[in-house]
Structures are given as structure tokens and as C-alpha cells.
């Protein structure tokens, strides 16, 4: 059985990739994930805030901007320890890349085009084989229009693309009015892959303490439906590689994502719940399904249920929605 795939120009021995999480942030975790059979690893993100804090620390130590930014002095004790942040991150990239035989992809997480490029270059020099950009931007300024939000993504991708030669992926928000168009624009601006989707952590309210809650729930299998829709729509229509990134729990979700057109299928919650060894369970189930269907390779199954290859492409469109609503209860 040939499980191999290609994602953002990288050869993968199978489509299962461990997405960013605390599990991929230690050499021990990375080793366990690799041993379990994952084809690639995305390191946890280096956050723009960590980069900025390090720059503030550097400016303080060197005395730069002391007059123009006096609060730097008072802020200094609360800045993150140098043991966290960019230096430690580059060390993780270096050691993980040296230690593993599978691709190590680093992740930069921020909101603006500035401030990433130097680190993108350092990450490349440290040995990362790819870079994922997580532009976690929530446009709470309600005067900002959609075009400005899109431009932010495109500027960030263009800046990073100009700085590095390694492949660049964008972990995309699902909240665009035209997901297909932003995919094409990101492709035009140099992205090699799209990760569908970034899982936004929506707040809850505590109605007793009247506080905003920021608890984190691991994902559930029903959450695959939104990425599944857009994978199916984009597959075969863009040159970018496509990764599915939410809700994988069993090999059923892996199979569905491949049928819709995913080149790589990412997982975090399932590994946090069941441990890194769960990668082996996913791979076994995938191989079994392919075997039962007499598919000799991943390539034979990938995208056969994408919109462009389906006999009934309208299954992904409004017509089906109307049918579903009108058929309820019959
Ligand atoms: C504890 C935790 C930490 C995470 N850290 C990051 C991160 O640093 N950068 C990032 O892009 N995504 C991060 N994620 C998101 C995951 O990479 C993944 O996209 C998300 O959990 C959806 O995948 P899943 O349904 O398989 O869990 C994190 C998720 C969890 C649960």
C-alpha cells in the first residue's frame, strides 16, 4: 500500500501530520510522534508578541529608545524571560530538525506583515523544512473592511515569501466572504499551501461571575464539516497544496478529508487525548479502508469526492441546502 503524499513541495511518507501543540514543542514529544509514524511535524507557534517582547528587552538592555519609550524601563521586569521566546524557539527548530528524519515545519503566529521576516529567515537557517503562518487576526475594529483584512494576509505572505526559500503555508481563517478568492490571491502572492482552517477559540461567558471565559475545548469529529466543504470546493482548482486541520478523531475523518482532496491531514486534539501513539491507529484505519476499497495508493482516492470530480457538484451548493431544509422531518 502506497500511503505517500506531497504537501507544500515536501515528500511525505503518509498524509498524517502532527499540527502545532505543546506535544510538538518538546524533543521527547516530537520523537514519540515520529516513532508513531507521523509524516511531518508542525512546531508550536512563535508568537509575534514574543518577538516584540524580545526586541523591547534588547532595546532596554542596549539603552535604545529609552527617551522615546520611557515605559520600556517600567515594563522590563514583566517581559518574558529570555529562556522563552525567539532564541529558545530557534534552538527547538535546530534540534528537532537534526533529530528527526521527517520534515519539521515551524510556525509563526501574528497579525501584521512587519516583524516576521527576520525570524522567518532565522527559522530557515535553523533547519526548518517549511514555515506555517498563522495569522490569527480578529477584526474587532468594525470600521475595517474585508479588503483591508485580506490585504493584511497578502502583505504578510509576500514579506515572508521574499525572505525565505522554504515552502510557506498559511493556516487560514474560515471567516472570509470569498474563501476561494483569498486562496487564489494567497497563491499569487507566494503561498505554497493552505491549512483549512485555523480553529478560533471563541469565548464563553460566566453568567455567575460575569467574566469572559477563555477555556479551551479539544475538537470533535463534527467540526470537520466546514473544512471538508472548502477542501472539496478548492481541490483541483488551486495549485496550492491543501491540508485539513480540524476534528480528526478516527481514521474515518482522515478518509473523508482525503476524498475531499486533502494532501495532508493534521491532528492535535486526538493526540492530546490519546497520546502520540494514536497516529498509528489513524494510519492503520486509513490503510485498512484503502485496502477494502482496493485502492493501491492515496493518490487513487484523493479528491475523488471533490466538487470538480463529483457527478453531482451541486451537492456542495445552495440547491442541496434548500433540499436539506425542505426535506427535514420527511
Ligand atoms: C493546547 C493547544 C495548543 C495549540 N497551539 C497552537 C500553536 O501554537 N499554533 C497554532 O497554529 N495552532 C495551535 N493549536 C491549534 C492546533 O494546531 C490545531 O489547529 C487545532 O487544535 C485543530 O486541530 P484538532 O481538531 O486536530 O485539534 C493548538 C491547539 C491546542 C489544543
- Helix (H) / strand (E) element for 105: namely strand 104-110
Ligand 1: distance of its center to the CA of 169 in Å?
15
Taking the CA of residue 219 as reference, the ligand 1 atom at the shortest distance is 25
pLDDT at 116: 78
pLDDT value, residue 324? 81
Length of the chain (residues): 330
The pLDDT of residue 28: 97
Residue whose CB lies within 8 A of the most ligand 1 atoms, among 15, 38, 199, 279, for a mutation test: 199
pLDDT on residue 63 = 67
Q: Which atom of ligand 1 is nearest to the CA of 171?
A: 11
How many Å apart are CA 281 and CA 287, to the nearest integer? 10
What pLDDT, on the 0 to 100 scale, is given for residue 64?
60
Residue 185 above 60 pLDDT?
Answer: yes
Pairing outcome for strands 40-47 and 204-206 = unpaired
Q: What nine digits make up the cell of 302?
A: 484523493
Q: What SS3 class is residue 67?
A: coil
The predicted structure's pLDDT at residue 78:
45
Whole-number pLDDT of residue 45: 94
Domains in the chain and their CATH numbers? 5-327 (3.20.20.70)
Least confident of 57-71, 112-126, 236-250, 265-279: 57-71
Q: Quick one: pLDDT band at residue 76, thresholds 50, 70, 90?
A: very low
- What separation in Å is there between the alpha carbon of 19 and the centre of ligand 1? 6
Pocket of ligand 1 (CB under 6 A): 19-22, 44-45, 107, 109, 134, 171, 199, 216, 218-219, 245-248, 267-269, 272
This prediction has a pTM of: 0.91
The Cβ-side half-sphere exposure at 146, using a 13 Å CA radius, reads 8
Distance separating alpha carbons of residues 96 and 105, to the nearest angstrom: 10
Distance CA 205, CA 214 (A): 9
pLDDT of residue 83 exceeding 50? no
152: CA distance to ligand 1 center in Å? Answer: 22
Contact 7, 41 (CB under 8 A): no
User: Ligand 1 centroid to 142 CA: how many Å?
Assistant: 27
Residue 155 has a pLDDT of 94
What are the distances in angstroms from CA 180 to CA 175, 176, 237, 260, 303? 12, 9, 9, 15, 17
Is the pLDDT score of 66 beyond 60?
no
First to last CA, the chain: 43
d(CA 261, CA 301): 9
Averaged over 235-255, what is the pLDDT?
97
Residues with Cβ within 8 Å of residue 164, at least 6 apart in sequence: 120, 121, 123, 124, 131
pLDDT at 202: 83
Q: Is the pLDDT confidence value at 73 over 50? A: no
Looking at residues 88-114, what average pLDDT do you find? 94
Amino acid at each position: 500500500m502506497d500511503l505517500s503524499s506531497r504537501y507544500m513541495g515536501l515528500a511525505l511518507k503518509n498524509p498524517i501530520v502532527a499540527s502545532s501543540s505543546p506535544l510538538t514543542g518538546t524533543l521527547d514529544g516530537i520523537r514519540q510522534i515520529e516513532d508513531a509514524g507521523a509524516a511531518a511535524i508542525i512546531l508550536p507557534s512563535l508568537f509575534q508578541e514574543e518577538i516584540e517582547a524580545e526586541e523591547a528587552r534588547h532595546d532596554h538592555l542596549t539603552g535604545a529608545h529609552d527617551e522615546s519609550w520611557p515605559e520600556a524601563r517600567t515594563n522590563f521586569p514583566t517581559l518574558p524571560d529570555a529562556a522563552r521566546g525567539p532564541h529558545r524557539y530557534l534552538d527547538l527548530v535546530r534540534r528537532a530538525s537534526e533529530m528527526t528524519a521527517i520534515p519539521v515545519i515551524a510556525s509563526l503566529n501574528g497579525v501584521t506583515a512587519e516583524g516576521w521576516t527576520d525570524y522567518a529567515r532565522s527559522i530557515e537557517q535553523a533547519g526548518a523544512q517549511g514555515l506555517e503562518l498563522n495569522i490569527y487576526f480578529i477584526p474587532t475594529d468594525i470600521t475595517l473592511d474585508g479588503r483591508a483584512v485580506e490585504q493584511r494576509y497578502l502583505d504578510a505572505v509576500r514579506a515572508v515569501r521574499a525572505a525565505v526559500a522554504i515552502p510557506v503555508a498559511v493556516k487560514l481563517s474560515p471567516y472570509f466572504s470569498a474563501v476561494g478568492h483569498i486562496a487564489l490571491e494567497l497563491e499569487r502572492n507566494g503561498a505554497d499551501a493552505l491549512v483549512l482552517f485555523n480553529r478560533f477559540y471563541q469565548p464563553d461567558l460566566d453568567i455567575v461571575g460575569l467574566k469572559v471565559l477563555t477555556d479551551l475545548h479539544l475538537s470533535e469529529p463534527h467540526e470537520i464539516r466546514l473544512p471538508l466543504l472548502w477542501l472539496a470546493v478548492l481541490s483541483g482548482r488551486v495549485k496550492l497544496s491543501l491540508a485539513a486541520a480540524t476534528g480528526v478523531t478516527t481514521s474515518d475523518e482522515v478518509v473523508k478529508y482525503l476524498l475531499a482532496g486533502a494532501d495532508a491531514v493534521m491532528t492535535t486534539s486526538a493526540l492530546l487525548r490519546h497520546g502520540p501513539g494514536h497516529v498509528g491507529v489513524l494510519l492503520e484505519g486509513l490503510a485498512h479502508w484503502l485496502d477494502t476499497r482496493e485502492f493501491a495508493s492515496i493518490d487513487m482516492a484523493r479528491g475523488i469526492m471533490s466538487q470538480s470530480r463529483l457527478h453531482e457538484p451541486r451537492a456542495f451548493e445552495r440547491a442541496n441546502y434548500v433540499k436539506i431544509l425542505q426535506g427535514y422531518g420527511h
